[in-house]
Chains A and B, each alone.
Chain A
Amino acid sequence: MNPYPDFRQKSPPLEGLGEANQKVIEVRDLVKKFGSFVANDHLNFDVYKGEIFGFLGANGAGKTTAMKILCGLSSPTSGKVKVAGFDIYKETEKVKRNIGYMSQKFSLYEDLTIAENIRFYSGIYGIKPAERKVKMEQLLKNLDIESARDSLIGSLPLGWKQKLAFSVAIFHDPKIVFLDEPTGGVDPITRRKFWDLIYEASDRGITVFVTTHYMDEAEYCNRVSIMNEGKIEALDTPENLKQQYGVKNMDEVFLKIARNKE
């Protein structure tokens, strides 16, 4: 039985993205060195509007480093990077206004309630109180957690927290949302529910840039890039990669790439 039937249908074909394949992320010759260690070795890739872009690699392959550069959390050693149409060197502020970010350890305050967390993040992004209230009602309804509005985040199950953290990360309607291994520590079923939200966001035109090492998640992406030792070894749709390597799933693609290196 195919474990991912729903998402195959939902995931739009790349050609159908429209808007003349508008680039929201452009990376040219990105190099990041820590002393003599090269974490990112001349990365080149584009990400298009509304796309779900999977950023894969083993731990230490350099994917988190690259993502931090895209979010303005770290500066590159050399190279040209544009995010949401803005240069990350000169227009960091504008970049930050147009992105959302969700860290590995989800990103909500455990000792604040759902409503308080939303209020805090709305304040940071300058969302007006009236607008916030309307959107918050929507969000709570959407996640079916209206009764938990005044519960502390710490008292919620992990799956809820992750969904909430994602919803809060796109609360200000960013052009791109960066997810750093968003579904760590939950079972595949909860992961699939989480991905429902990602598809909804993508349908609204929000570009999703996600790092992961779960290969079932890689299948859900429109395109994936696979990093190894600081370099991008492969970049295509999951279908094409599987054909190219003559295997049945992304897990094997990943293993083949890792073995070829050795």
Chain B
Amino acid sequence: MGDLGGFFMKQFIGFLRKEFLHIFRDPRTMVIIFGIPIVQLMLFGKVISTDIQNVKIGILDQSHDNTTKKITSKLLSSGYFVLAKELQPGEDVEEVFRKGIAKMVVNFGPNFEQNLERDGKQDVQLLADASDPNTARILTSYAGGIINDYVKKEKLQNIQLPNQINIEVRMLYNEGLKSVYMFVPGIMAMILMLISAMMTSISISKEKELGTMEVLLASPLKPIQIVLGKVTPYLLLSFINALTIILLGVFVFGVPIKGSFFLLMGESFLFIMMALSLGILISTVAPNQMVAMFISLLGLMLPTILLSGFIFPIRNMPLPLQIVSNIIPPRWFIVIIRNIMLKGTGILYIWKETLVLVFMSFTFIALSIKNFKIRLE
């Protein structure tokens, strides 16, 4: 029995050696496995970021009193804004936008401090370049927040206004509303789907396409050895990628891991297993590499990007899409990752999502076995 087991392992190791040769000899595979994860994370983290940072603004100060100067310095020291130009009264404000000098202009009217202290109320005009409406909205709300905050704390302490409701907003778990916090879990889900599901399905259907699968099946290799041999390299590589993404997230983008690191890796492992079984399932349906790639891209990548809550919140989707999103595995994984990394919750709060992933894995494996048997008969 020991000899038989040894032979089984030798066959398996020989198979693995071949698989790694395939991977390391194919530049496209190498790029997908090692290039794309890093590029994606950098792209989403740095370039497509919706964060406001060092945005150029203009100041049109018609009072030049203490209060306006303090507010200006508050704005400029917030890190969100830098001063591009001080405008003089009567200057053409639109010119600033047209020439692209600034994205927003803050206009303090004359006698700002006097009016504020006398009436307890004074207007500030915020002009924003709304050719990019999203950014304009965020800029004005940030600036408005900073100004109000200053006025309330410094100026209105002694003035009691009846029935005034102060709304204090605190963004828990992501106080800076940093979009990279949202992207790291999403990108992890996407990359792991890409490598585990897509690469496995392509690699298995490649053997079918080239006719080598029949040779393997006619050999003493057991089907389980073939499947494990195909899947193990991608399991390893996916795991390395999961680690890389988390490390980049933590050390480059400062995303916290508030919960247990081991739980995080355990859940990642579960998700990888789920994606691998999905990859096997795809390969039982796809007759060649092309089809496998299309099924993976259209059937997995698009829903992962659009329906998993990675970019668009599920709550804002029309009801039918919300229902569909339930069968998208990354949807559950993203919830798990956000909970562990940002909220620091333990397994007690994510056991439902975990069970969904376990259930999905078993379903995909069962379907694969069924398809495989039909093919053999």
- Using a CB–CB distance below 8 Å, which chain A residues touch chain B? 68, 71-75, 93, 96-97, 99, 101-112, 116, 119-121, 123-126, 169, 178
Q: In the assembled complex, which residues on chain A have CB atoms less than 8 Å from the CB atom of B377?
A: 74-75
Bound together, the chains give a CA A75 to CA B374 distance in angstroms of 11
> What residue of chain A has the Cβ atom nearest to residue B214's Cβ?
A103
Q: In the assembled complex, which residues on chain A have CB atoms less than 8 Å from the CB atom of B217?
A: 72-73
Asked if B22 is at the interface of the complex by the 8 Å CB criterion, the answer is yes
Known: A72-B218, A75-B376, A99-B218. A124 touches B211 (CB 8 A): no
- Using a CB–CB distance below 8 Å, which chain B residues touch chain A? 7, 10-11, 13-15, 17-18, 21-22, 25-26, 210-212, 214-221, 376-377
Q: In the assembled complex, which residues on chain B have CB atoms less than 8 Å from the CB atom of A108?
A: 212
Q: In the assembled complex, which residues on chain B have CB atoms less than 8 Å from the CB atom of A106?
A: 211
> What residue of chain A has the Cβ atom nearest to residue B217's Cβ?
A73
Please state if B218 and A73 are interface contacts (CB–CB under 8 Å).
yes
Which of B11, B15, B25, B211 interacts with A107 by CB under 8 Å?
B211
Bound together, the chains give a CA A120 to CA B21 distance in angstroms of 11
> What residue of chain B has the Cβ atom nearest to residue A72's Cβ?
B218
Known: A96-B219, A124-B219. A110 touches B376 (CB 8 A): no
Please state if A120 and B18 are interface contacts (CB–CB under 8 Å).
yes
Please state if A74 and B211 are interface contacts (CB–CB under 8 Å).
no
Please state if A111 and B14 are interface contacts (CB–CB under 8 Å).
no
Please state if B22 and A111 are interface contacts (CB–CB under 8 Å).
yes
Q: In the assembled complex, which residues on chain B have CB atoms less than 8 Å from the CB atom of A101?
A: 214-215, 218-219
Which of B10, B211, B216 interacts with A105 by CB under 8 Å?
B211
Please state if A126 and B21 are interface contacts (CB–CB under 8 Å).
no
> What residue of chain B has the Cβ atom nearest to residue A102's Cβ?
B215
Q: In the assembled complex, which residues on chain B have CB atoms less than 8 Å from the CB atom of A126?
A: 7, 10-11, 220
Bound together, the chains give a CA A116 to CA B214 distance in angstroms of 19
Known: A97-B220, A120-B18, A123-B10. A110 touches B210 (CB 8 A): yes
Q: In the assembled complex, which residues on chain A have CB atoms less than 8 Å from the CB atom of B210?
A: 105, 107, 109-110
- What's the least CB distance linking B232 to chain A, in Å? 16
> What residue of chain A has the Cβ atom nearest to residue B13's Cβ?
A123
- What's the least CB distance linking B19 to chain A, in Å? 10
Give 26 A-B contacts (CB < 8 Å), ordered by A residue: A68-B214, A73-B376, A75-B376, A99-B218, A101-B214, A101-B215, A101-B219, A102-B215, A103-B211, A103-B214, A104-B211, A105-B210, A107-B210, A107-B211, A107-B215, A108-B212, A109-B210, A109-B212, A110-B210, A116-B18, A123-B11, A124-B15, A124-B220, A125-B219, A126-B10, A178-B218
Please state if B18 and A109 are interface contacts (CB–CB under 8 Å).
yes
Bound together, the chains give a CA A123 to CA B8 distance in angstroms of 10
Q: Which A-B residue pairs are the 9 nearest by beta carbons?
A: A123-B14, A105-B211, A103-B211, A101-B218, A107-B215, A71-B218, A111-B25, A103-B214, A120-B18
- What's the least CB distance linking A68 to chain B, in Å? 8
Bound together, the chains give a CA A74 to CA B376 distance in angstroms of 5
Which of B7, B17, B26, B214 interacts with A111 by CB under 8 Å?
B26
Bound together, the chains give a CA A105 to CA B212 distance in angstroms of 8
- What's the least CB distance linking A99 to chain B, in Å? 7
Bound together, the chains give a CA A120 to CA B18 distance in angstroms of 7
